[in-house]
């Protein structure tokens, strides 16, 4: 079982999710393809295993990075999260694509197995920004939520995460989350062109600063 996941990760890293083949995993395992079906119900099941594996590894990387930064250094914590996700994404672009890129056609990750590990990075960001807000170090732009459905969605999100923050902080969290991963995806997926504007790492550091400014973190 562990071998299957290991070889699967290897193939995922080399060939990408769409090319992940249970038969190839079986070949590398020195076994006929039907034997693998004893352990993994289907190719989608293997994908799910790799999704959970990836979320866990990314979550661990983020947690480890956060442990090195003092709790009241909010800008530093945000940068640590960003750099940790970026480093992991560049090291495992195919897994990053599987988790945060376009969905694999015909495959939907089962929420009951991926929702927990899948939101660890989001929770880390939300925790950071809400703590900063409580400490008076987050001044997000004012927003007015005129849509009652969106207000309900914000309330649901607040309940789910146990937060007590105004709409502007929720909006900043959502925007900051999406913007951060937007910058990351753009780099990992090569939208900046082949050379990434010369120095992708420096560009990302710039983006981290602009992100802090956008959510009002100081």
Partner DNA sequence: CGCTTCCGAGAGCACCGCTCTCTCCTTAAT
Partner DNA sequence: ATTAAGGAGAGAGCGGTGCTCTCGGAAGCG
Burial class (CB in 10 A: 0-12, 13-18, 19+), 196: middle
Q: What share of the chain is helix, strand, coil (3-state, %, to 5)?
A: 70, 0, 30
44 interacts with DNA by CB under 7 A: yes
- Partners of 217 in beta bridges: 138
Q: Which of 15, 68, 72, 73 binds its own copies (CB under 8 A)?
A: 15
Determine, following the binding rule CB under 8 A, whether residue 31 of this chain makes contact with its own copies: no
Rule CB under 7 A: say whether 28 interacts with DNA: no
State the DSSP code for 217: B
Binding-site partner at residue 189 among its own copies, DNA, none, CB < 5 to 8 Å by type: its own copies
| Rounded Cα gap, residues 110 and 19, in angstroms | 21
CB 87 within 8 A of CB 28: no
Of the candidate spans 1-9, 21-29, 52-60, 172-180, the one that interacts with its own copies by CB under 8 A turns out to be 172-180
Q: Which of 136, 144, 142, 128 is nearest to 78 (CA)?
A: 128
Identify what 143 binds: DNA, its own copies, none; CB under 5 to 8 Å per kind: its own copies
Site residues for its own copies per CB under 8 A: 15-19, 94, 97-98, 100-106, 141, 143, 145-147, 149-154, 156-157, 171-172, 174-175, 177-183, 185-186, 189-192, 195-199, 201-203, 206-207, 209-211, 213-214
């Amino acid at each position: 079982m562990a071998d299957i996941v290991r070889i699967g990760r290897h193939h995922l890293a080399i060939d990408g999710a769409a090319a992940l083949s249970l038969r190839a995993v079986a070949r590398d395992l020195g076994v006929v393809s039907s034997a693998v079906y004893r352990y993994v119900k289907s190719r989608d099941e293997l994908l799910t295993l790799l999704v959970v594996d990836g979320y866990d590894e990314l979550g661990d990387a983020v947690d480890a990075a956060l442990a090195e930064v003092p709790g009241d250094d909010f800008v530093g914590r945000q940068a640590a999260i960003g750099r940790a996700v970026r480093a992991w994404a560049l090291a495992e672009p195919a897994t990053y694509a599987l988790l945060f890129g376009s969905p694999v056609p015909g495959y939907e990750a089962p929420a009951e197995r991926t929702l927990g590990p899948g939101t660890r990075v989001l929770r880390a960001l939300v925790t950071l920004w809400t703590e900063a807000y409580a400490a008076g170090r987050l001044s997000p732009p004012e927003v007015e939520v005129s849509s009652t459905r969106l207000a309900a969605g914000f309330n649901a999100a607040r309940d789910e995460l146990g937060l007590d923050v105004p709409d502007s902080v929720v909006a900043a969290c959502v925007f900051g989350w999406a913007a951060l991963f937007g910058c990351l995806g753009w780099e990992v997926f090569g939208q900046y062109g082949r050379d990434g504007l010369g120095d992708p790492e420096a560009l990302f550091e710039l983006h981290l600063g602009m992100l802090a400014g956008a959510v009002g973190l100081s």
